[in-house]
Amino acid sequence: MNEVGKEILIAKTDIEKRVRELADTISRDYEGRELILIGILKGAFVFMADLVRQLRIPCQVDFVRLASYGTVTVSTGNIAISKDIETSIEGRDVLVVEDIVDTGLTLSALVERLKKRDPHSLKVCVFLDKKDRRKVPFEAEYVGFNIPDRFVVGYGLDFNEMYRFLPDICVIGEN
Ligand code: XMP
Ligand code: MG
């Protein structure tokens, strides 16, 4: 248990180790190239900040904001972008960075949208993956941790905007 009484699922030290491993893999895969990281606000901001500081390749960062989870019906090819990226990705190597993939609806729709802008390549890096919950097929190229179907907070992830600041990934509720 931590200070707000949540059950820790992934501890800070394990997160740090895994982020370093992911950054090593990504740095190797993109050696000699330059990346644009696109973080999905708000949840990805902590992961993105940690990841970018461990990369050993030149990169730019940008952010996209989508309509918030649960308040809008999301279906493939139809997502509301409330804040678009401010960089042209045409001909560029793009890595979308997200906190968690759940049903897969958000990321599959966003990837389709971004591919229409003709990037040279487009891959996805998610910190957490709840594979059991997919409604559409979706595989991220880089995955931090596979987790069971529990609602998690911390490390950027929130419950009603709370707990994003927690350094560990914690489980809340009784699911
Ligand atoms: P999809 O479209 O894959 O959506 O269902 C992924 C989005 O769902 C939110 N999400 C969570 N947020 N704890 C959270 O704080 C969770 O356990 C969780 N599961 C899904 C999240 O906003 C993500 O971007
Ligand atoms: Mg999110």
Give average pLDDT by consecutive 10-residue segment, the chain, 175 residues.
Answer: 72 98 98 98 98 98 81 58 95 98 94 97 98 95 97 96 96 74
Q: Look at residues 39, 32, 90 and name the one whose alpha carbon lies nearest to residue 60.
A: 39
Share of the chain above pLDDT 90, in %: 86
Mutate to test the pocket of ligand 1, among 157, 159, 174 (most ligand atoms within 8 A of CB): 157
Q: Look at residues 108, 109, 54, 114 and name the one whose alpha carbon lies nearest to residue 87.
A: 114
> Could you identify the atom of ligand 1 that is nearest to the CA of residue 108?
2
pLDDT for residue 37: 98
Render the burial of 12-36: b for 16+ CB within 10 Å, e for the rest.
eeebeebbeebbeebeeebeeeebb
CB 54 within 8 A of CB 23: yes
CB 9 within 8 A of CB 149: no
pLDDT for residue 87: 95
Note the pLDDT tens digit of each residue in 85-127: 999 999 999 999 999 999 999 999 999 999 999 999 999 999 9
| Statement: the pTM of the whole predicted model exceeds 0.85 | yes
pLDDT for residue 173: 73
pLDDT for residue 148: 96
**How far is residue 143's CA from residue 141's CA, in Å, rounded to a whole number?**
7
C-alpha angle 136-127-89 in degrees, rounded to nearest 5: 75
pLDDT for residue 72: 46
- Give the ligand with the smallest distance to the CA of 158: 1
Distance from the alpha carbon of residue 71 to the mean position of ligand 2, in angstroms: 13
C-alpha angle 69-173-162 in degrees, rounded to nearest 5: 55
Which residue ranges have their beta carbon within 6 Å of ligand 1? 43, 69, 74, 98-107, 151-153, 157-158
- Ramachandran assignment for 11, one of left (phi > 0), alpha (psi -120 to 50 degrees), beta (any other): beta
| Residue 62 a catalytic site member | no
